[in-house]
Amino acid sequence: MSLRPPSASSRPPAVPIRGMALDVLGEWAKGERFAADLLDYIQRENGLSQPDAAFLRDIVLTTLRNLSLLDHWIDVITEGKHLDHRSRWGLRIGLCQVLILKVSEYAAVNETVAATGRARSLINAVLRRACRESEELLAMVPALPLETRTSHPKWLIEHWLGLFGEAKTTALCEWNQVPAPMCARVNHLHPENASASDDFIVCEQLPREDLGAGKVYMQDPSTALAPRLLAPQPGQRVLDACAAPGGKTALLAQLMENKGEIIACDVSPGRLRRLEGNLYRLHVANAQIEQHDWAEPQPPPFAAAGFDRILLDVPCSNTGVMRRRVDVRWRLTPEDITAQVETQTLLLKNCLRVLKPGGILVYSTCSIEPAENEQLVASVLETTPGYELVTTRHSFPPEDQMDGAFAAAIRRV
């Protein structure tokens, strides 16, 4: 096996991508920031080109998506040797490149070694052995436990096995291991898209020009489930209770043909600024932005007249979008789901109070957890007279080939 470098004349100036990946992952491990935010920050700060930024993203997200598997390989090669944090991250990103991303072995080994500091000799030895034994290391994967070969926490695997059974749980874990395509919704409010036939498209690369012009908005088809179930009509008064960053609000405006009134709410000023910018860019003309926390029991003045339609897209565990949000599997705990249910229940009860008689509220999540979905809605309706369940919709990622989502339409009678 040759690890000879390419000729000097063919090599562009090196960008220290592996060192940046180690910095991002080291910061991520502190548990305070999300990988996507850290990647955006380091791309801006270093003025990375699109290819370099994409490569950095591939290394970081693929490493996080395969943490348990990478650690298994490390233990096999090092015979369980104790490693400091930076050395372990160095081996993780090195093995990720060699065994999963199939990066040039010379670049993967030498540039990862150069980025790791004092443990270079160990990193070098382990990665060179991995190159020699790559076929054997890859061949062991199918026989590994599901939580190891698909890198999901064991408690989550056991939880899903109890809910969905072995076949669906296995399919879900394998689905989460495949990087999600870039999906965009075609914005029919843009004058040039008024007669477009497509609703969602898959993009090979980020459509920056169309995004900036408001012709498209990056979102998965599953996000249309709740707005379409709500089916707001032109002229109605509609509340989007948890609106930021605005993708669903803009779809509501499109369904309403920009007629009537949408009150778009969120809690934080920062999220509201982002919401305002997105709605302006997406040519939304019938939305009014308000700051309000619907966990508060007292309805705000703007809700006094009530609403014909309410979209309540609540904060949730995000278990339906783990393919896109790689952090979630490592940050989520069983206690988080319980805490989410308490907040979601409060939000639903408070929003039902401002629904007009005969009006429809759609409660939605991007979760696949029955506790946050069907069970929660049933529990609230049992203790809140005057409302009835109309219908529910849901998507289960491997079966529906899109992100997981849930929506329940509730009528005030």
For residue 73, give the nearest of 104, 97, 57 by alpha carbon.
97
- 3-class secondary-structure state, position 186: strand
Q: How far is CA 323 from the centre of its chain?
A: 7
173 counts as catalytic: no
Q: How far apart are CA 171 and CA 398, in angstroms?
A: 6
Per the annotation, does 266 bind a ligand? Answer: yes
- Is 162 annotated in a binding site? The answer is no
- Eight-state DSSP code of residue 11: P
- Which residue matches tokens 């801006």? 44
Strand order in the sheet with 200-203: 200-203, 182-186, 216-218
Q: Would you say 142 is a known binding-site residue?
A: no
Element containing residue 407 per DSSP (H, E): strand 405-412
Two tokens, residue 372: 């946050």
Q: 245 among the known binding-site residues?
A: yes
Q: Residue 253: which residues within 8 A CB-CB, separation 6 or more? A: 189, 262, 279, 282, 284, 285, 286, 287
Q: Tell me: is residue 297 an annotated ligand-binding position.
A: no
CA–CA separation, 63 and 276 (whole Å): 35
Residue 53 labeled ligand binder:
no
Question: How many Å apart are CA 342 and CA 346, to the nearest integer?
Answer: 6
Known binding residue 403? Answer is no
Annotated catalytic residue within 96, 131, 183, 366? 366
Q: Tell me whether residue 199 is annotated as binding.
A: no
Feature table: binding site: 242-248, 266, 293, 313
Binding site for S-adenosyl-L-methionine, residues? 242-248, 266, 293, 313
Q: Which residues are catalytic?
A: 366
